[in-house]
């Protein structure tokens, strides 16, 4: 006869529906637009508690409804291109996906006893997140790890495990607290497990604290100036400027040429003010091919005359073209030569295995470059560490305030993982400069300043990270770990039935 232990659901808890309500509210702030570190920590904890107090069918249905409702709210304003029905469908799909690890935990956890039961959910959740985000052509917005964007000491573990290690620790915290709860906080029963978990947390946070307190990039910086002269929003572009380009090309050109002139004049001004590298934001120059090529030709001459590296964000459109056009980044050297002409692949990287991040050797270190949400793909950005990039240039243009918030919270993860400085000049949003340890060295909100020039002395030496060497090994280990746990749980179940 099998002896029922505290982790064998359904457990008795008359407050279970309160935990469901708390989880539903907190999950609004764990993913999507409204990320909050405390919500990311507590939401899984309360959802596990609720589900373990219910029979599988009833508990799963109520959990599904709660997660769908929370995800519709969490993602609603982060998808400006979606119609209302599409946003609802997206919330339903997202909520459904997020139920899977909790269901796996509910089914499997009762087949383990003691502290070992705490490993079921973290392996299930981390493996599921890794397998759904790692090969996806969509950005990694949906990772629980991003909820910890402001937990500077915690996210340093990304230099070893990538973002997947943060997800694992959050999930393990949730399952461990539930185990302590179910064991009635009996010190004799929880002593060993609590000590193990506390020790792991202390090591991870201690690693982060030491890394931030005592480690700095090698001496040496480069002066980079980001110029933001774009004075229209993406909404204005979509609803007024682009339609005008199709209906009245001459009127469109008359509106855009002053923007071109401001960028060119500002480049001369900043070069003479001491800039060594000048970067324009994403799609700074938008127009017909002949107009854009004329701007690039003038930019090449300015770079040659002033002796600077110049990054030009541009977007080539034409009669009958799509809104997106050709979103490119051109890097010009001090001789006036074009070193890179790079085409953006995000925000849907369907050809992710063919994407090559361009790099350039300069006297200021090796530069790499991608555009805006290209940065959201850790398995592509890993190239910068393999190629020895010192500074990653990421010109951006945020379509909505929601996107500004989301991208701000994600940027530091890529610098920590790859040990690279990031310079991100952004039109209609926050420009950021981040060192190889994820520390913000400078920020500027282009929507709230009169003189939109972002100047920073950025470290130009990368640092080595374990993640750069092993890549997503930890993610694959969570998959292997879950397979082992699931297999062990199934075998235990069959032996118990026998």
Please give the backbone phi and psi of residue 235, each rounded to the nearest 5 degrees, phi first: -65, -45
Inter-residue contact 315 to 325 (CB < 8 Å): yes
pLDDT (0 to 100) of residue 319: 75
Nearest 5°: the CA angle 433, 237, 347 is 55
Please report the domains of the chain, with CATH numbers, ordered by start residue.
16-215+473-497 (no CATH), 221-462 (3.60.110.10)
Summarize the confidence of residues 172-189 as an average pLDDT. 94
**What is the overall mean pLDDT for the chain?**
91
- Block residue for tokens 């401001």: 262
pLDDT beyond 50 at 179: yes
Sign of CA dihedral 114, 164, 417, 387: positive
Nearest to 42 by CA among 60, 27, 64: 27
Predicted pLDDT at 1? 37
Report, as an integer, the average pLDDT of 30-34.
88
Single pTM value for the model: 0.91
Residue 4 DSSP code: P
Q: And the tokens for 390?
A: 């010192």
If pLDDT is split at 50, 70 and 90, which confidence band does 335 have? Answer: very high
Report the range of poorest mean pLDDT among 170-179, 214-223, 246-255: 214-223
Q: What is the pLDDT of residue 113?
A: 85
Cα separation, 1 vs 497, whole angstroms: 10
**Per-residue model confidence (pLDDT) at position 239:** 87
Query: Could you tell me which residue, 207 or 11, shows the higher pLDDT?
Result: 207
Strand 365-369 versus strand 359-362 pairing type: antiparallel
Per residue in 252-309, pLDDT tens?
999 999 999 999 999 999 999 999 999 999 999 999 999 999 999 999 999 999 999 9
H-type alpha helices, 183-217: 187-214
Tokens 């000491």 sit on residue: 153
Indicate whether 5 pLDDT > 60: no
Q: Give residue 414's pLDDT band: very low, low, confident or very high (50, 70, 90).
A: very high
Contacts 24+ apart (CB under 8 A), 130-136: 130/164, 130/472, 130/475, 130/476, 130/478, 130/479, 131/479, 132/97, 134/379, 134/472, 134/475
Burial letters 412-446, b for 16+ CB under 10 A, else e: bbbbbbbbbbbbbbbbbbbbbbbbbbbbbbbebeb
How does DSSP assign 307-345, residue by residue?
A: T-EEEEEEEEE-TT--SS-EEEEEEE-TTS-EEEEEE--
Residue predicted with more confidence, 226 or 138: 226
For residues 219 and 107, the model is more confident at: 107
């Amino acid at each position: 006869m099998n002896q029922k232990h505290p982790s064998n659901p359904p457990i008795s808890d008359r407050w279970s529906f309160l935990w469901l309500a708390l989880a539903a509210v907190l999950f609004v702030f764990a993913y999507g637009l409204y990320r909050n570190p405390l919500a990311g920590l507590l939401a899984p904890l309360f959802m596990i508690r609720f589900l373990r107090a219910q029979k599988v069918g009833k508990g799963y249905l109520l959990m599904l409804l709660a997660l769908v409702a929370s995800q519709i709210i969490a993602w609603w304003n982060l998808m400006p291109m979606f119609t209302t029905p599409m946003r609802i469908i997206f919330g339903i799909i997202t909520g459904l996906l997020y139920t899977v690890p909790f269901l796996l935990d509910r089914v499997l956890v009762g087949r383990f006893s003691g502290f070992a039961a705490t490993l079921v959910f973290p392996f299930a959740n981390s493996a599921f997140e890794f397998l759904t985000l790692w090969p996806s052509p969509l950005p990694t917005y949906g990772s629980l790890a991003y909820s910890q964007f402001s937990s500077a000491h915690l996210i340093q573990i990304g230099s070893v495990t990538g973002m997947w290690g943060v997800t694992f620790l959050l999930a393990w915290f949730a399952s461990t607290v539930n185990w302590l709860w179910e064991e009635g906080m009996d010190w004799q029963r929880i002593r060993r497990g609590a000590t193990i978990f506390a020790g792991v947390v202390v090591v991870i946070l201690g690693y982060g604290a030491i890394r931030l307190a005592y480690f700095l990039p090698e001496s040496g910086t480069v002066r980079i100036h980001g110029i933001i002269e774009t004075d229209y929003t993406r909404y204005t572009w979509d609803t007024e400027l682009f339609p005008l380009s199709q209906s009245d090309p001459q009127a469109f050109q008359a509106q855009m040429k002053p923007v071109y002139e401001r960028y060119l004049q500002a480049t001369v001004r900043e070069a003479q003010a001491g800039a060594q590298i000048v970067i324009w934001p994403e799609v700074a120059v938008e127009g017909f091919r002949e107009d854009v090529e004329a701007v690039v030709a003038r930019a090449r001459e300015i770079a040659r005359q002033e002796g600077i590296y110049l990054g030009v964000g541009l977007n080539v459109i034409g009669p009958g073209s799509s809104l997106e056009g050709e979103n490119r980044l051109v890097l010009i050297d001090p001789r006036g030569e074009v070193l890179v002409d790079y085409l953006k692949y995000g925000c849907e990287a369907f050809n992710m295995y063919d994407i090559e991040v361009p790099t350039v050797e300069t006297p200021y270190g090796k530069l790499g470059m991608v555009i805006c949400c290209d940065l959201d793909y850790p398995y592509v950005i890993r190239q910068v560490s393999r190629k020895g990039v010192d500074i990653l240039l990421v010109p951006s243009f945020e379509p909505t305030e929601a996107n500004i918030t989301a991208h701000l919270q994600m940027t530091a993860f890529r610098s920590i993982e790859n040990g690279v400085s990031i310079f991100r000049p952004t039109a209609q949003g926050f420009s950021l400069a981040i060192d190889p340890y994820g520390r913000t060295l400078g920020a500027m909100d282009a929507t709230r300043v009169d003189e939109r020039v972002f100047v920073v002395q950025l470290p130009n030496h990368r640092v080595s990270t374990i993640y750069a060497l092993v890549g997503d090994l930890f993610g694959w280990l969570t998959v292997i770990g879950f397979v082992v746990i699931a297999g062990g749980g199934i075998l235990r179940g069959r032996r118990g039935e026998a």
